[in-house]
Chains A and B, each alone.
Chain A
Amino acid sequence: MPNGEIQKLIITEETAKIRPYAVAAVLRNIKFTKDRYDSFIELQEKLHQNICRKRALVAIGTHDLDTLSGPFTYTAKRPSDIKFKPLNKTKEYTACELMNIYKTDNHLKHYLHIIENKPLYPVIYDSNGVILSMPPIINGNHSKITVNTKNVFIECTGTDFTKAKIVLDVIVTMFSEYCENQFTVEAAEVIFPNGKSYTFPELAYRKEIVRADLINKKVGIRETPENIAKLLTRMYLKSEVIGDGNQIEIEIPPTRADVIHACDIVEDAAIAYGYNNIQMMLPKTYTIANQFPLNKLTELLRHDMAAAGFTEALTFALCSQEDIADKLGLDISATKAVHISNPKTAEFQVARTTLLPGLLKTVAANRKMPLPLKLFEISDIVVKDSSRDVGARNYRHLCALYYNKNPGFEIIHGLLDRIMQLLNVPPGEKKGGYVIKASEGPAFFPGRCAEIFARGQSIGKLGVLHPDVITKFELTMPCSSLEINIEPFL
């Protein structure tokens, strides 16, 4: 250390509400080449994208220490009070101006939301009032790092203390090899608002003890403890056999923050062994298989629907509000539909409460096909239901359509009769049978609609579709449909 003391970073309490954590360290007498410099920048970007979760959790700032003078202060100020020359710009701007300028910057515009609407913005100063950076947006130009930089001051600020420490550890371990004093890093002290002081980087090495037979058992191999230790060491997890000869002590370096459980060590051992070298074995697990009853019923019905001359469609579960309400003459509030938040397009506004729109859209997309078009689908619809743990549930519906020069009510009616026959539901209201009763609905042509009652409950409707429905779905021919809930027949 030039003057015998390490760098200090003081955090003020204003940062608490916006970006409370900061860590710092110094790389002394580093020798950059163009490649190393590019790699240094690239590492920061990669870390920002991954573990830093696009700078929201942690943001990294690296500075030419020789252009600055500590101690440094990390605080938060009103945007109008922050003014500096940011990286690669020629004049000074206030933070407000920068927020505007970067709105059109393809790289930085994605990060503005992290601090944009806050009353105070984070900012780091040196002892002369020079601004190092305004995290997580941009560094100052003053302390810009070049290929000629010899001493680097690294600061990481963020909302996740653990991740900030990990990120700092990764940077210094990766680049300390280019310091004159290879593989050494100079510590820095960070003082928190409550007076607590920490030294970084932590570079915590952790030791974990794992039984050799555990690794063998989980992977499915039979290696000696010594061999396993060798395999792990090859993966940069320095290991040695200890104790009774069955235990392996593994040193987990700070660059392996992903190793948090013995299973992570097991994976590394398996990788070193070579996945394709492991012997394949069949589990001795003896089980009798069962079908999910609703799916079993669906499979049986599907085949007979095709035998009845109808063709199966597979339509989207997500659609527009219009599709399940307006186009069917209903108000959306009457549908008990589940709504998606912030849909990108109208196609993702709601989950379908009926299979009918999907089938009608299928007909519309296949207008050139010869008539009649006879389609069906047996699949789930979604409705709100407060008796369920999530507040919504699926119902398995069966829907069929007949589209031709004539509406074919008798054909759809005949299909219903056939389905009831297959489900062994006799005609007639008594004895758990089925019956249809004249009904009406905004989606149906007046006088050509019926509600279906089976086993004591209403299971759906059938009828000739209302011309308004036909035209709203961009169709031209008469059409009749049937839609029932098949769950009562389980």
Chain B
Amino acid sequence: MADGPVAEVLLRQLEAADGGLDSAELAAKLGVDHQVVVGAVKSLQALGEVIEAELRSTKRWELTAEGEEIAREGSHEARVFHSIPQEGLAQSELMRLPSGKVGFSKAMSNKWIRVDKSAADGPRVFRVVDSVDDEVQRRLQLVQGGQAEKLGEKERSELKKRKLLTEVTLKTYWVSKGNAFSTSISKQETELSPEMISSGSWRDRPFKPYNFLAHGVLPDGGHLHPLLKVRTQFRQIFLEMGFTEMPTDNFIESSFWNFDALFQPQQHPARDQHDTFFLRDPAEALQLPMDYVHRVKRTHSQGGYGSQGYKYTWKLEEARKNLLRTHTTSASARALYRLAQKKPFAPAKYFSIDRVFRNETLDATHLAEFHQIEGVVADHGLTLGHLMGVLREFFTKLGITQLRFKPAYNPYTEPSMEVFSYHQGLKKWVEVGNSGLFRPEMLLPMGLPENVSVIAWGLSLERPTMIKYSINNIRELVGHKVNLQMVYDSPLCRLDAEPGPPRTQGAA
């Protein structure tokens, strides 16, 4: 552009000019669009101090499209006046004319016309004066001719109110000679090339200044999904704490492992169709460990292992019903059962992060599928204090150090605790997880020794991810309606780092 024809003409004009020139005037003189001149000015500016350009703002009055029409054809009220013959015109007919509605009221207030309401065949409009002076048209024509300053301010604002005039701001440049002014522009190099290196010609060439304010070209790589980046970090935290990953590659589970083995009674509302996805096919689990099943049945219906039990009739068909697992605690139950079969007992620490399914009401933060994080420690003599200790270490790795605990209820843990942390941004305590000691009615039928306690805790993967990446609607994060640009742009998942500046959209 700097070596374009307009730029060269501008430089020559500037040489001849006294002091400087206006870009809009030059554009009019050359018969080119103003933006072309602006482009030339900018590219000359990039060369260094060849020119000086000062941005100026001028205001101009221009006619709107309607204003132009009126300047041509006359104002609506004048047209109304001229369409009324000597004998007058029926008002209904007048109103049907193109300028009728608008012009009628104005012509009335100008006292150019009058209405005779008592006329025989409906109200009739008559001229009051013989001729009129179409001031509005005259004024608009003045503006059209570039003489807007001849109108008083009151007259101008009146026309502006009627939407016939607008004030247009024009940004122009006042261009003057710079320190390095010259009418010849040498072509500037943009890049070093192999030929320049081998010939050494780079020493004699001027190089175009690099625009450090522009963005670079983003590398063409792939991207990992933000939720799964968070999952990777949680896996890492568990592994660092010595937790072994449980197998959870089974979305389909039987009611037995999902509920009964966890001492959740068969009449519990969570086992309702409304909360759980039951299966039509395959509808029932084919195999269950029957010895264990009998012990579970007895504990539910009659008690035992120090418990009163629930005292209801436990049914095998209910336990066989297949479903999409509602929590990964069923996988923990399977893992603990396997652990219990190994003698002698060896302490264990397990974790899992995988998908679970709930048939609940869906909204901006709830979907039918989400990911649950679960941690389990099985050992002799574990206490509530130990559970809190493990939670403190776990959450510290997430950058959360202030924790509080509140009593809670779960069908399969007792005592149970809700875990809260203080959120700096929201300035309040928010729930970050649920935890407890598994009930003896769950552990003892498995065959675990009596003085072995199992502490466990869980949280969802989606919630901390949405907070970390400032996402308000879960559908933008999980599922096919994901915002791919968000996936491309999302930063590294550093769970213990300070939160970054708020994103431009959807700040938490």
Contact = CB atoms under 8 A, between A and B. Distances in A.
A binds B: yes
Contact of A389 (B248, B287, B367, B393): B287
Given A270-B384, A282-B393, A261 B405 contact: no
Interface size class of B (residues with CB under 8 A): 35 or more
A362 B481 CA distance: 6
Interface in A202-252: 206, 217-221
A57 interface: yes
A275 B481 contact: no
B105 interface: no
Contacts of A275: 384, 388, 405-407, 417
Given A311-B484, A392-B252, A267 B239 contact: no
Nearest to A161: B311
Given A219-B384, A282-B389, A289 B238 contact: yes
Contacts of A278: 384-385, 388
B224 A358 contact: no
Given A275-B406, A287-B347, A341 B481 contact: no
B279 interface: yes
Contact of A218 (B245, B310, B389, B437): B437
Given A287-B348, A314-B478, A362-B480, A292 B246 contact: yes
A470 to B, nearest CB: 16
A82 to B, nearest CB: 27
Contacts of B437: 218, 263
A383 B121 CA distance: 86
B80 interface: no
B416 A267 contact: yes
Interface stretch (B94-102, B131-139, B158-166, B374-382): B374-382
A66 to B, nearest CB: 35
A266 B307 CA distance: 13
A283 B389 contact: yes
A382 B251 contact: yes
Given A283-B382, A303-B224, A341-B278, A348 B368 contact: yes
A283 B377 contact: yes
Contacts of A104: none
B64 interface: no
Interface stretch (B23-31, B181-189, B191-199, B225-233): B225-233
Interface in B216-250: 220-225, 227-228, 232, 235, 238-239, 241-250
B292 interface: no
A389 B257 CA distance: 11
Nearest to A391: B282
Nearest to A366: B484
A279 B385 contact: yes
Contacts of A339: 279-281
B307 A365 contact: no
Contact of A291 (B239, B308, B439): B239
A209 to B, nearest CB: 11
B222 A309 contact: yes
Contacts of B306: 261-262
B286 interface: yes
Contact of B250 (A57, A376, A393): A393
Contact of B322 (A263, A266, A295, A391): A391
Contacts of B284: 391
A290 B352 CA distance: 12
B480 A312 contact: no
Interface stretch (A142-150, A315-323, A426-434): A315-323
Contacts of A78: none
Nearest to B392: A280
A302 interface: yes
Interface in A47-101: 53-54, 56-57
B75 interface: no
B322 A392 contact: yes
A420 B388 CA distance: 46
B440 interface: yes
B252 to A, nearest CB: 4
B292 to A, nearest CB: 12
Nearest to A377: B225
Contacts of B383: 217-220, 281
* Most chain A beta-carbon contacts within 10 A, residue among B225, B245, B480, B483: B480
Given A263-B437, A267-B414, A390-B250, A286 B242 contact: yes
Nearest to B307: A261
B386 interface: yes
B357 interface: yes
Contacts of A280: 385, 388-389, 392
B227 A221 contact: no
Contact of B288 (A53, A312, A389): A389
Contacts of A294: 247, 249
A64 to B, nearest CB: 31
Nearest to A50: B269
B309 A260 contact: yes
A312 B252 contact: no
A376 B221 CA distance: 13
Given A295-B245, A394-B249, A389 B286 contact: yes
Contacts of A302: 224, 228
Interface in B267-325: 267, 269, 273, 277-288, 303, 305-312, 322, 324
Contacts of A281: 383, 385-386, 388-389
Contacts of A341: 273, 278-280, 283
B301 to A, nearest CB: 10
A338 B385 contact: no
B221 A365 contact: no
A284 B484 CA distance: 45
Contacts of A386: 282, 286
B252 A267 contact: no
Contacts of A53: 267, 269
B114 to A, nearest CB: 61
Interface in B429-470: 437, 439-441, 453, 455
Nearest to A221: B385
Contacts of A316: 367-369, 478-480
Contacts of A18: none
Interface in B472-489: 477-485, 487-488
A311 B487 contact: yes
A307 interface: yes
Contacts of B388: 275, 278, 280-281
A226 to B, nearest CB: 21
A309 B220 contact: yes
Interface in A143-187: 160, 162-163
B480 A315 contact: yes
Contacts of B488: 311
A129 B287 CA distance: 53
Interface string A359-401: 1011011100100011010001010101011111110100000
A395 to B, nearest CB: 8
Contact of A295 (B235, B252, B277): B235
A313 interface: yes
Contacts of A54: 269
Nearest to B244: A290
Given A218-B437, A318-B369, A384-B281, A358 B357 contact: no
A308 interface: yes
A270 B436 CA distance: 12
8 contacts: A266-B415, A278-B388, A294-B249, A309-B221, A312-B228, A338-B279, A340-B279, A351-B251
List of 4 A-B pairs having minimum Cβ-Cβ separation, nearest first = A220-B385, A220-B383, A391-B282, A361-B480
Interface of B: 220-225, 227-228, 232, 235, 238-239, 241-254, 267, 269, 273, 277-288, 303, 305-312, 322, 324, 347-349, 355, 357, 359, 367-369, 377, 379, 381-386, 388-390, 392-393, 404-407, 414-417, 437, 439-441, 453, 455, 477-485, 487-488
Given A261-B308, A316-B368, A382-B252, 9 more contacts: A261-B440, A282-B386, A289-B239, A289-B349, A302-B228, A311-B484, A338-B282, A339-B280, A380-B251
